[in-house]
Amino acid sequence: MTSRKIEILVGLFVAAAIAAFFMLAMQVSNMSSYGGGENYELSARFDNIGGLKVRSPVSAGGVTIGRVTGIQYNSESYEAVVVMAIETKYDKFPVDTAASIFTSGLLGEQFVGFEPGAEEEFLKQGDVIDLTQSALVLEQIIGQFLYSKADEEE
């Protein structure tokens, strides 16, 4: 085996590994959704965020437009503060846009959904969304359902 051949084969090996890395990064992981594009930040206050996590998607009309980047608890207003990074190309959300926490499917992941309002003014970097609806917690719904049934039967 000449050293020329060895060098070529080692080169191919390294190239194959780089190709494999790019395949995993682009095709299989969420690197494509990092997009490298510009983001602007919005935040929203919820009474209860349910199972929402950092990196959960933010969508409008079913299209992912950004991701949750931070979740804190404000111990003065007793509310959860959710910070979201929204892609700059989606910058035409009216100030009275409502943010709700939905669940994809019955038991799926939770995400933040935007429902655009009607104002002329648009949300900007750092704005806070006032109109929010908390997550539906399945246990609470079932509990309420059972209580109302019991009330009916009385």
- CA neighbor of 115 nearest in space, from 43, 60, 44: 60
Q: Is 84 exposed, middle or buried (0-12, 13-18, 19+ CB in 10 A)?
A: buried
Least Å distance between CB 52 and other proteins? 14
Least distance to other proteins, CB of residue 130, Å: 29
Contacting residue, 2, 27, 118, 134, with other proteins by CB under 8 A = 27
Total chain residues near other proteins (CB under 8 A) = 27
Catalogue the E-assigned strands of 20-124: 39-46, 57-60, 63-74, 79-87, 98-103, 110-115
Residue 33 binds to other proteins (criterion: CB under 8 A): yes
Confirm or reject binding of residue 19 to other proteins (CB under 8 A). Answer: yes
Q: Is 55 in the site for other proteins (CB under 8 A)?
A: yes
13 binds other proteins, rule: CB under 8 A: yes
For position 14 contacting other proteins by CB under 8 A, the verdict is: yes
* DSSP E strands, 1-49: 39-46
DSSP codes, 110-123: EEEEEE----SSB-
Q: Considering only 15-23, 72-80, 115-123, 141-149, which stretch makes contact with other proteins by CB under 8 A?
A: 15-23
Q: Considering beta carbons, is residue 68 or 123 the nearer one to other proteins?
A: 68
Residue at 102: amino acid letter? F
Q: What share of the chain is helix, strand, coil (3-state, %, to 5)?
A: 30, 35, 35
Report the interface residues with other proteins, using CB under 8 A. 1, 3, 6-7, 9-10, 12-14, 16-17, 19-21, 23-25, 27-34, 55, 57
